[in-house]
Amino acid sequence: MAWNPFSKRAAEEVKPSKTEVGVTGANLVGGYIVEDEKDSTLVGVQKYQTFSNILLNTTIVAASVRYYLNLVTKAGWRFTASEADKDSKYADLVQEILDDMLTPWHRVIRRAAMYRFYGYSVHEWTAKVREDGQYGFLDIAIRPQRTIQRWEVDVKGRVLGVYQTDPETSAEYFIPRWKMMYVLDDSLNDSPEGVGIFRHLVYPARRLSRYEQLEGYGFESDLRGVPLARAPLAELNRKLKNGDIDQKEYDKYLGPVKKFLSAHVKSPRLGMLLDSAPYSGKDEAATPSQVYQWTVELLRGSPTSLMENAAAIERENLQMARVMGTEHLLIGGDGKGSMALSTDKSHNFALIVESSLKEVGGSVSKDIIDTLWLINGWDDKFKPTTEPEPIRFRNPEQITSAILDMARAGAIITPQDPVVNALRDVLNLPRTTVETLSTGLQDPGLNEEDEEEENGEEDNGEGKPNDPGPPNGNTEEGAKDNITEDMEGK
């Protein structure tokens, strides 16, 4: 009998069991995780606020995460029917249920894949009754890490559920383990929250922010190129005081220089013509000096540390890209690198994404597919195999060359061989089916009379064939049956 997710028993199971345990790497006190972390910005909910700031304000992190998620979304999902599910009824039903939710399936996977950066990901499913009377999923919704306040864990360290806090009302809601999809990065510790890549980026991101701030200060305080003008102000002021010139003439002398200083942006219209008369000595000879009475020049300065600062910024960007596995995004920025190197690193990153999808696939199989079978009471022998499609970059020429080498070595590759459809998938071509294969078996050079004679059919004068031929002879139906038997045998 199917287990009803809306029953009273299901509601009672929401209540957690009271346990007090200690988990290595993260002790739980009253359900709260107490980590051995000295940085106050990396403890509790504040930790995820710090992670979000890194994601939003650090360019290389944002670019890497988006690149990662684009590849995750690109991967399709296969629900391969079991041997007992001959007509793929249950495999197709699973696909139909997951495509009929409020949140599209590819968005569910995209949000779940963020466990690699945050450390874990929690989604809560909500069931619904379908028109055919079976239970399906209304939605599989993300529960943001910053809203998860407490954990319920048994004596063996297994998660029994989480407490989610409403940011507006501060009310707590318990989500039992059986009602959620839970993906964890437990590579470095056994904390229920795991350790995500964002934790490794905190201090590099802070250093990068500081270096960029210093670079801005350097640009703002660098006086090189600032215009510097000189004029005989003492002489002009003396003449103005003695009445030799009036204020209008005084402003007329200084006006062009002041205008130049206030509008010194480079422009073809901007230029000055000054008096070339130099200062003269005050002795009896009145020897001329080398200093002009009127001059305009740009300030010059000694070399600054801007180049070293730029190198430090580049180093931090590269370091964070390496942590995320996306250093190939920076290849060519310094004029170095090669196509082969970029391709190799891109393939390596694709393997990283496939590994993450495999982790998500395990949670989908355990927390989604198993739950679907439980609430509907279906036999486990009909349960399909769940796996994401590979996203590695495949070269059709290399694949066809490998197939040709296999054929030359003696391998028999028929049109029904699965490798043919695999190659068609790479080329984005339609797959071969029993119908297309049976159509291809007919000789297009034969007309209708020749086909009847070929199949042993002759008109007896009444518009009917004398001999319909063997049931599984060279007829189209027989060809289909032979192909079907051949494929089932393989």
Per-residue confidence (pLDDT) for residue 380, from 0 to 100? 93
Between residues 1 and 43, the one the model is more confident about = 43
Query: pLDDT-derived band of residue 117, with 50, 70 and 90 as boundaries?
Result: very high
Domain boundaries, the chain: 8-204+338-388, 227-298, 396-489
Examine the pLDDT at 205 and tell me if it is beyond 50.
Answer: yes
pLDDT digits (tens, 9 = 90+) for 367-396: 999 999 999 999 999 999 999 988 766 667
- What pLDDT score was predicted for residue 402? 82
pLDDT for res 29: 60
Overall average pLDDT of the 52-57 stretch: 94
Q: What does the block give as tokens for 414?
A: 């028929």
The mean pLDDT of 147-165, rounded to a whole number, is 89
What tens digit of pLDDT does each residue of 396-440 get?
777 788 888 888 888 887 877 777 777 777 777 777 776 676 665
Q: What is the pLDDT of residue 487?
A: 42
Mean pLDDT of all residues in 128-146? 94
Listed residue (137, 122, 117, 102) closest to 72, CA to CA: 117
For residues 165-178, give the mean pLDDT: 90
* Banded pLDDT at 28 (limits 50, 70, 90): low
Mean pLDDT of the chain: 81
Least confident of 431-440, 445-454, 466-475: 466-475
- 5-14, 102-111, 148-157, 277-286 — which is least confidently predicted? 5-14
Q: How far lies 186's CA from each of 24, 223, 444, in Å? A: 12, 53, 61
Mean pLDDT of 158-179: 91
State if pTM tops 0.75. no
Closest CA to 197 of 352, 306, 72: 352
Q: Residue 30: pLDDT above 70?
A: no
pLDDT confidence of residue 147: 93
At 449, is the pLDDT very low, low, confident or very high (cuts 50, 70, 90)? low
**Span 221-243, average pLDDT:** 85
Q: Give per-residue burial for 19-39: e unless 16+ CB within 10 Å, then b.
A: eeeebeebebeebebebeeee
What single-letter DSSP state applies at residue 360? H
User: DSSP readout, 20-72?
Assistant: --EETTEEEETTEEE-----GGGSTHHHHHHHHHHHHH-HHHHHHHHHHHHHH
| Distance, first Cα to last Cα, the chain | 36
Residue 482 pLDDT > 50, yes or no? no
- Picking from 449, 448, 455, 456, the residue whose alpha carbon sits closest to that of residue 475 is 455
For the ranges 170-174, 268-272, 328-332, 444-448, which has the lowest average pLDDT?
444-448
Q: How confident is the model at residue 5 (pLDDT cuts 50, 70, 90)?
A: low
What are 306-357's pLDDT values in tens digits?
888 889 999 999 999 999 999 888 887 766 767 777 777 888 888 899 999 9
Q: How far is CA 397 from CA 73, 350, 351, 403, 465, in A?
A: 26, 20, 21, 10, 49
Q: What is the pLDDT of residues 252-296, one digit of tens each?
A: 989 888 888 888 777 777 777 777 777 777 666 667 777 778 888
- Where does the pLDDT of residue 478 fall: very low under 50, low under 70, confident under 90, or very high at 90 and above? very low
- What are the tokens at 386? 């769940």
Backbone angles phi, psi at 316, to 5 degrees: -65, -40
| Neighbour count for residue 121 (Cβ, 10 Å) | 27
Q: What is the pLDDT of residue 21?
A: 41
How many C-beta neighbours within 10 Å does residue 455 have? 19
- Segment among 34-43, 146-155, 276-285, 358-367 with least mean pLDDT: 276-285
pLDDT at 313: 93
C-alpha distances out from residue 218 to 152, 206, 208, 226, 306, Å: 52, 18, 15, 14, 7
